[in-house]
Structures are given as structure tokens and as C-alpha cells.
Chains A and B, each alone.
Chain A
Amino acid sequence: MSEPRPAVLVIEDEPNIRRFIRMSLEAEGCQVYETDSMQRGLIAAGTRRPDMVVLDLGLPDGDGVDFIRDLRAWSDIPIIVLSARTTEADKVGALDSGADDYLTKPFGAAELLARVRAQLRRRSSASASGSAVLEFGRMRVDLGKRLVERAGEPLHLTPIEYRLLAFLITHPDSVLTHRQLLKAVWGPSHADDSHYIRVYMGLLRKKIEEDPSQPRHIITEAGVGYRFVAA
């Protein structure tokens, strides 16, 4: 293919992890730029114009959230953050300020590549298709006509359920925090009523998932939020 190789900026201070990410991404056919600090990362993001950023949240020279905000001020390229377990609050902070996905250390090459591919695909599909019809599993959603079908049958959704579903499927593969979902569906004044989201997510799952207790499309990221997966 003549498509240009996607450029990925990796900001990570641990050389061995950096090396492993580099090897994995290069094997996937990406161009990789590495930096080991937040400051240099910001400069590199400006000069190299990457298609994606992989950012470690535990950098010694600054707060990852600031980096994300700075970057989001002028760019909407996908950001995947790397973080340790038991720091859910950091993850939520990063996601709320604009990161798209996260990986918990330790992670394998397969996990990393799956996330990177998903983000790159989302980016290209978002720019390419303006299609208002989305299909996943046995579901078909026509955003233009506000029609939802399951296995060819029209499916009735309440206004809330519909808005929730529409927001999820237009942000596939990204982790959406409770706050983001509440803001999008209920408006900013309800940003703290997170039980709303959980209850409606349960109702929505009952309608669109084959087995709501082991969902395939609406995945729970415990303590963080939800991720919609089409496949």
C-alpha cells in the first residue's frame, strides 16, 4: 500500500519499556519517535506532528494531565496513556482531560498493538466515512433517521438509551468516563449522578447484548468508565 506509515510518539522514561514499545510498533509498520520526558515530548509532538501519542503517566518531570491538556489545545490525535494499577483516579483524570484509551502495566505486545490499531482505525474511519449508519453484531443504528434495529426488527429505546447508545457508537474503542457520558447524555448539571449512567447502561445492555452479564459491545472498565467495541 502506498499509504504513508503512521507516526507514533512514545513518551516513556524507562528505556526497556520504551525499547519494547518501539519494537512492537515498528513490527506493526509504524514510524516511532521516542522521548523520555514530558518537556521533550511536547516539543516532539509539535515538530514531528505524529498521528498518535503513547504517554506514560508516571513521568518524573510533570503531570500527564497537563501534557494532555496542552496537546489537546491544538491537536486531536489519539492519546493512549500507560499507567500502573491502583491509580484509577489518575486514569480517569487523564481520560477526562482528553486521552482516548489506557493500558495498565504490565501489558503485552498484543494488547498494545490492539489498542494502537483501534485508535488508528478510528481516526482514519472518522475522517473518511461520514456514514450515518453503523452496524455491529446483530444491531444496526441509523443515526440520521434515529432508527435502531436488532436482527432486522425495530428496537424501541427510550430517549436516554438512544442518546447513550449514539454517543457510545460514535466514540468506538475509546474509554469514556462516567463524567463524560453523563455530560454528553444528561448535561453538565448531572455530572455527579453516576448511578444514572450505570442503571441506563444496564438497561441498554439488556436490549442490545446477547448475554448482558458477559457483554461483548459495552465493556465495563471498572472504576473508570465504559468502552464500546463494535466487533
Chain B
Amino acid sequence: MKDIRPDPDLILDRIKEEEMRAARGKLKIFFGASAGVGKTYAMLSAARQQTEQGTDVVIGVVETHGRKETEALLTGLERLPLKAVAYRDRVLQEFDIDGALARKPALLLVDELAHSNVPGSRHAKRWQDVEELQSSGIDVYSTVNVQHLETLNDVVGGITGIRVWETVPDHVFDAADEVVLVDLTPDELLQRLKEGKVYLPQQAERAIQNFFRKGNLIALRELALRRTADRVDSEMIQYRRDKSVTRAWQTSESLLACIGPGDGSGRIVRSAARIAARLDVPWHVIYVETPKLRHLSEKLRLQTLKSLKLAQEMGSETASLSGSDAIATIIDYARDHNLSKVIVGRDHAQSWRPWKRSFADRVGKLAPDLDIIQVAREDTPADRRQEEKSTSESLLDRLRAPWQSFAMSSVFCALVTLIAMPLHTVFDRANIAMLFLMAVVLSAVRYGLGPAVAAAFLNVAAFDFFFVPPRFSFAVGDVQYLMTFAVMLAVGLVTAKLTADLKFQARVASRREQRVRALYEMSRDLSGALMPEQIAEISQRFAATGFGARAAIMLADERDRLHEAIPVPGGVPAVDVGISQWAFDHSAEAGWGTDTLAGSPLLYVPLKAPMRTRGVLVLEPSPSRRLMAPEQRRLLDTFARLVAISLERVHYVDVARATTVQMESERLRNSLLSAISHDLRTPLAALVGLADSMSMTQPPPTGQQCDIAASMREEALRMNSLVNNLLDMARLQAGAVKLNRQWQPLEEVVGSAIKAMRSTMAGHRVGVNLPAELPLLEFDAVLVERVLCNLLENAATYTPPGSTIEIGAAPAARDQIDIWVEDDGPGLPAGKEELIFNKFERGRKESATSGVGLGLAICRAIVAAHGGTIRAENRHGRGARFVFSLPCGNPPSLDGAEKDLPEEESPK
């Protein structure tokens, strides 16, 4: 039979996910094909219904665009005031996330999920605000147009010719708990447009008129319908999986998308996301940085980083690898991660090199077992131009050098000319040309590409002027020299390029080596660190050398609150506690150069260690250094991880040491206490026994002698109870008592306490009044029996013979059970109800009643150890009442108690 039971791990994951979802607020998206279909109207109507059902609904931000029908719906709903944010000497109204979090309604309405916040807000995008609202348990209603979905963005752009820059990542849309499609036929929409019922911003009217063409609207509607259908479909699949109709997950099928530098990568990522979603498989996106690609401009490399981030947001695994051969690296990665499909961008047509095989072909040739999918890159002319511009920019960048370098390379040329001048009679002119080449090489080695190129041109000029006849003139006598010039220039340029490249690579390699060495040294230092202060100092040092930044470490305590930055010799930057706590709570970077509060001058990096986030690393980048270069980012990540791991290690070293010390002192204390208890009790036991055996002596003792023996016995027993009390108190005070908590009925321990105290309470009437359906309680039977015994003894001591003592119990508030011992004696001295629980405190000092007043102190210590409380009060009528409470907890069920029994016939 085929095993169709669901995988228990999967179920566990699902339960965890459901639990997380239950804690998170729910997101409901009103989804439409275009503006004007009535999303906001539908959202407000739904919100009104919720209000009528008594839900606490608040409007966070709603754009009515002055529409009357929509505004009518707003009446009666609470509106959160917007926050004024200053931006470039204008004041803009923005959604106030802090206000929303403080108000914490059950349901919040946040229109336009794709909206980009004003720079300086906490998050760059509104959907990030919504995520934070959700994670603090607030339900959110929001609206999205189909063209704002990340993966559909370029498709819609292709249809309508209008690209929007405000997008929502698909994972946000997919993770929404509910999506409602608000649909309107194109004709109706156009009708509404004619009636002026659709909001159009004045400045873009023409573009928008183009947008609202019937063909566009039909296409958009189809997209929206299809996207919704996809979602419903995946819900169906999820449902089937939940009900384990069949497992539709093939882990072996997964995608690898390879992106290159440039704008095209974003499109590849989006295509890969769509394909992965359709196949319902996990996917990876990688970027291979070959030495050649390191020459690319900063801008292009940041573009790549952005694409990787985009991929991450869309739910893929990402990696940036470095290798000399991109194809081999890709294939290795695919094989290592068991990825069977590789997506690559189609190469630009290179008609001038028809022999060159495309990237996809080369991958396919080396790895015939992989499926290769080629997707189009963004290849619009505009993009191309931009790309070319950026590469040429990078070439210019590379030619740039300080003027001294150009001067020095000119000096080289002059020197060579000077040296060659007297030699030209001795040497052939071809050899003199060689000398000039040397100047190019030297310039390239010393000063880089720009000066070397300059030197190449200068040399040709100098050669022509000084050595080619007619000398001291740029005129050329023999045409064949033109050939010499050309070759000389070409050789000079190629040499300059090769040498400069070599030098550049050597520099890259040495920088990388530097970074690795710095990391190695830091990790070596960290492995020797024993205290967080040392770690802070080491990271300060590393931050200074590696990033030119100042660093500080803030540690979190057990309750996830961050402490002040650990002081280090160089001083710490002025830390914003709010941002650092945010970074810690969300385990995400915040501050300078990130999505969250990018306006802050400091960068806050959470220190994520395997067990938990340990704290926050705060960096103050110096203005001149660029921390955001890809290598630096990677270095920063590694840095943070190393610090986090060291902090965790130090933490556990502390824990281990504390445990050892505690164990040792506990052992010592226990052996001391048991030695004392043995040494004190043994003589008492002998005394009791010997007093007893006196009555058995021959000849039988007289009545008086018997009395004396009995008194001796009584005193010894009293001494014993005193010793017991003292030792118990010592144990409880030292925290050396380990509770042996078991689930048990209270009744049982009440019975055993009464039995143990029977002789003490011989002169009293004892009543028990326990409700029949008292739940099981979890407590240490011996200790709770002791509490009851002490209370009973107390009652028996302070009430006259013949009084009634009653034990009772009843459930009290807050998951507690109250248990009491009450009497009808004289009661407690007024005002002493609390004092009597102190050590060596007795109710009536003047009385002859025995005892040192430890009994109630012990009761209090025992009850406190159980997580309960104890108090004393005078009863309304007469007498005292001692009440202690024990927590209820979750009693174990008795299911199974009657099961699993060996078969046997039952009694008749």
C-alpha cells in the first residue's frame, strides 16, 4: 500500500507557521486591474461591515481623491491623523506608523500598498510599514493595482507603455491572508472615466488618456484575473497539501537563475520568480564575479547587488560567488545544490563576432544534464544606451589619475629622449623606439593606465620630433615611418593596458588578501576574548582598519532589551536607542544606507548568532569611505557574524562557569547541611529511644520515673522539631531545595498532614472541607505537607483545646487555588497579619507558648518556591485564617490510564 501519511516534519512546520500567523495580524488586499475600479470603495465598505460587528476599525490612510461616494463611507470611522514630513522644503502628509502602533486598533485601513514613503520615513515603502503593523498583531486592509506587482511590472509596462516605479514584492501579495478581486468591465470603467469618476492627476493627463484605452484595460483585467486565479490555485494546492490529498512537492526540481552585471538582471530575476512560482519550486539566484567584472563601475555593481536583493525579497536564495570561470562556477553551484534548471539571460546579439557561442550554449556544452532556459533581457534601446554610458564612464574612471602621475610619466618620456639623444648615432632607430616602449611600461607599472596611455602618445610624438628625419620637426621624410608610429603606438597602448590590468588585479588580490588577513586576525583575537568588553575593543579596531568607521556593540539581556553600548577606549558613537532596538527586534539592518531610517548617520547591524540575536553592532561610517561597495558589504556581514558568534561563545562560557560554581557550592552546602543534620539528629534519636526504653527496664520503673521518661522524650522531640525547622529554613534560604513537583490531588496531602499531626491536635476538632472537583495540582508533596503541618500546629498551639480547626480549598482568581487552615480561636493580634511570617516572629511574645517562630517563615518560603502566596487574616466572626495559594497550571490528562492494560477480565 502506498504510504500517504503526511510527513510529520511538514505538519510541524505547518503548525508553527499557523501559530506565527495567528500571532501576526492578517492582511487583506483589495486587488484591481487599474485605478478607478473601486478598490478603496470596496475596502471601506468591508471596513464598515466590520465596524458594525463591533471590530475596532481605524483608518490609517485613505485616498478618496475627493470622490463623494467614497467620502460618504468615511463618516463615523475613526481616522488616524497623518504625519507631516518635511521634504525638500515642502511638507508632505504621510501615514503615521508610530501613531498606528501606539493606537493599536484591531483593524487598520492602509490604502495604496505600493506607495513609496517620503525619504526620511522609517521605511522606504508602505508595504514595509504594513509588515511591521502585522508583526505587532494589527490586521490590515490595503489596496493594490495589478501594475504595481513586482513581477508583473514590466509586463504591464510592455502593454501600456507606462512603467510605474512604485512596486510591491510578490511575496507580500502572496503572503496576504486574503485577496479580494475588485472587478469592473472595461466598458464600465471607461464610462466612469467619462463621467469624471476616476481620479486623474492633472499633469499626466495625456499619458493617462493613453493608458485608459480599451485594449489596455482588457489586457490589465486579464492579468489581474489570472493573477487572482493563480493565487486561488495555490491556495487550492495548499489546501490539498494540508489535507494531504497528495504531496505535490518535488524538491529535486529547482531553479537556478544566473544574473550578470547591468540592468538586464532585474528582468531575469522577475522571470525566474514567475517560472519558479508556476512550477512551485524553490529557486536560487547567483552572481559570479570574475576578475574581469571587477573593473565595472560602482554603479553597475550596485545594480547587481540590488538585483540580488530583489531576488531575496521575492523569496529566493541568493549568492554572490567569485571565480575565474563563470561557467564552471555556475555548474558547480547547480550540482552542489541539486538544481536542475538553469535560467540565463539571452546574450546581446554580437553580429560582429558570429563565431562566439552564446553563454547558454557554453553552459549547456559543459553540463549536458542541466536544462537551460534562456530569457530575454531588458533590451530596449534606452537601456542599452544607459549601459554603454555606464561602461564608458568606467573606462574614463580607469584613465583618471592624479596630475602628478601624468607629470611623472612625461618626465619619463623626457628622460628617455635625453638618454637616447646621444645614442642615436650609435643605435638603430628601431632600438631607440624600444627604449620609448620601456617608458610606457614603467609609467604603467608606476602610475596606472592613464599616464601610460599619455606616455604612449608622447613617445610617438617625441620619437617623431627628435629622431625621425627630418629631425626637430614633426614632418616625416619617409612614409614607412608612419608604419613605425602606428605599431609603436599600438604596442605602447596594448602594453599599457596589459600592465595596468595586471597591476589592477594584483591590487585587487592584495586588497582581498588584506581583508582576509584582517578577518583572520580578528577571528584569532576574538577566539582569545573572554569578555564582551574585549570583543567590543577588537571590533572597534577592526572597524577602524577595515571600514574607517567607529563601532560599538550593544548587548541584549534575557528580556530582549538592549543595554547601553559597551564602552571602548576610543569612545563610542552617539547611539539612537530606538533604532538599535528596532534593528534588534526585527533582526534587520537599520539606519544609514538601509531601507529603514536611512537618514540616521549610524548603521545598525543585528548580531545574529546561531541561538539568538545577541545584540546590535553600531557603525559610524566616516564620510570619505564608501561602506556600501559590494566587497565591503560582504566584509561587514562576515564581521557581524564573527562578532555575534564570539559573543555567543563568551555568553556560554559564562553560563558554564556560573553553573560549575553553582553546582560546586550546592554540593558543598548539601554535604554540610546533611552532616549537621545527621550529627544533630542522631543524639536526639538516641535520646528519644532511650527515654522510651527506660520504661522497659527491670524492675519496672515507678510512675514518677515513667513521667520523667515521658517528659524527656517530649523535650527531645521538641528539640528535634526545632532542629528540623532550623535546617529547613537554612536549606530554603540557600535556595538549596529542589522541588519534587508532581501532579497530585490536594486531598491526599491534607490527609497525610492530619495524620502526622494527630497527636498534636488531640485536643482539637479537625474538619476537612474540600470541593469534590478540585483539579490536580503540581507540588512537592513533602513540602506542602510541611506547610499544612506547620499551619495545623500553629492553629493547635494558639487556640484553646476544644477549638475547631478546618482545612478548606477553593479555586481563586488568576489560575490559582486557595487553600486555608482556619480556627475559631482568639485570632491574630491586629496589625500583625504580615509580620508573623518573618523569621523568629511570634504572635504573642509574652506567652509561654513554645517555638521560635520559624514555622510560618518556612511556610512562606515553601509556598513562594511553588510560585504561590501566603497570607493571614482574622475571620469575620472569630478566629484566624491562613490562606496560601498554589498555581493551577495545566494538569495532565488521564487519557490512557485505562488503556494499554494487559487483558484481564474485569471484576464483577
Contacts and interface: CB of A to CB of B under 8 A. Distances in A.
Contact of B768 (A196, A199, A213): A213
B742 A195 contact: yes
Shortest beta-carbon contacts, A-B, top 7: A20-B689, A16-B686, A109-B692, A106-B685, A223-B782, A195-B743, A106-B688
B228 to A, nearest CB: 52
Interface of B: 674, 677-678, 681-690, 692-693, 695-697, 713, 716-717, 720, 724, 727-728, 731, 740, 742-745, 747-755, 766, 768, 770, 776, 780-782, 785, 891-892, 894, 897-898, 900-902, 904-908
B747 A202 contact: yes
Given A86-B728, A202-B747, 12 more contacts: A17-B685, A19-B693, A106-B684, A107-B688, A158-B906, A159-B907, A193-B897, A199-B776, A202-B745, A212-B747, A213-B768, A220-B751
27 contacts: A14-B685, A19-B693, A21-B689, A58-B678, A106-B689, A106-B720, A107-B685, A108-B689, A157-B907, A158-B906, A159-B898, A160-B898, A193-B892, A195-B744, A195-B891, A195-B894, A196-B894, A198-B745, A199-B897, A200-B897, A201-B748, A213-B750, A213-B754, A214-B751, A220-B752, A220-B755, A223-B781
A111 B519 CA distance: 75
B905 A108 contact: no
Contacts of B740: 88-89, 223
Contact of B908 (A24, A106, A146, A194): A146
Contacts of A126: none
B785 A23 contact: no
A231 interface: no
B685 A159 contact: no
B685 A23 contact: no
Contacts of B905: 146
A200 B744 CA distance: 10
A33 interface: no
A108 B782 contact: no
A109 B907 contact: no
Contacts of A84: 677-678, 681
Interface stretch (A34-42, A66-74, A182-190): A182-190
Interface string A43-72: 000000000000000100000000000000
A135 interface: no
Contacts of A154: 908
B742 A194 contact: yes
A126 to B, nearest CB: 23
B898 A158 contact: yes
A162 interface: yes
B747 A213 contact: yes
Contact of B904 (A21, A23, A159, A212): A159
A206 B751 CA distance: 13
B793 to A, nearest CB: 15
B87 to A, nearest CB: 65
A64 B713 CA distance: 28
Contact of B755 (A23, A24, A198, A219): A219
A89 B782 CA distance: 11
Contact of A109 (B677, B696, B731, B891): B696
Contacts of A132: none
Interface residues of A, number: 57
Contacts of B720: 106
B901 A159 contact: yes
Nearest to B807: A213
Contacts of A17: 682, 685-686, 689
Contacts of A146: 905, 907-908
B742 A147 contact: no
A16 B691 CA distance: 11
Interface in A196-231: 196, 198-202, 211-215, 219-223
Contacts of A105: 681-682, 684-685
Contact of A196 (B674, B681, B897, B907): B897
A16 B693 CA distance: 11
A28 B531 CA distance: 70
A148 interface: yes
B682 A14 contact: yes
Contacts of B727: 86
A199 B891 CA distance: 12
Contacts of A223: 740, 780-782, 785
Contacts of B682: 14, 17, 105
Nearest to A111: B692
A195 B776 contact: yes
Residue among B727, B752, B753 facing the most chain A CB atoms (10 A cut-off): B752
Interface string A121-163: 0000000000000000000000001111000001011111011
B888 to A, nearest CB: 14
Contact of B690 (A16, A148, A187, A222): A16
A1 interface: no
A114 interface: no
B907 A24 contact: no
Contacts of B748: 198, 201-202, 220
Given A213-B751, A220-B751, A223-B740, A160 B897 contact: yes
A222 B749 contact: yes
Contacts of A215: 751
B692 A20 contact: yes
Contact of A198 (B688, B731, B744, B754): B744
A205 to B, nearest CB: 8
A32 B692 CA distance: 18
Contacts of B750: 213
Contacts of B716: 106
A60 to B, nearest CB: 10
Contacts of A19: 690, 693
Contacts of B695: 109
B696 A24 contact: yes
A14 B678 CA distance: 11
A53 to B, nearest CB: 18
Contacts of A20: 686, 689-690, 692-693
Contacts of B780: 223
A85 B785 contact: no
Residue among A16, A20, A21, A147 facing the most chain B CB atoms (10 A cut-off): A20
A112 to B, nearest CB: 8
Residue among A14, A87, A106 facing the most chain B CB atoms (10 A cut-off): A106
A169 to B, nearest CB: 13
A148 B907 contact: yes
Contacts of B752: 219-222
Contacts of B898: 158-160
Given A23-B693, A160-B901, A198 B685 contact: no
A159 B906 CA distance: 5
Given A157-B907, A198-B776, A213-B770, A24 B894 contact: no
B739 to A, nearest CB: 11
A202 B768 CA distance: 15
A156 B894 CA distance: 20
A197 B540 CA distance: 62
Nearest to A157: B907
B745 A199 contact: yes
A58 B680 CA distance: 14
Contacts of A195: 742-744, 776, 891-892, 894
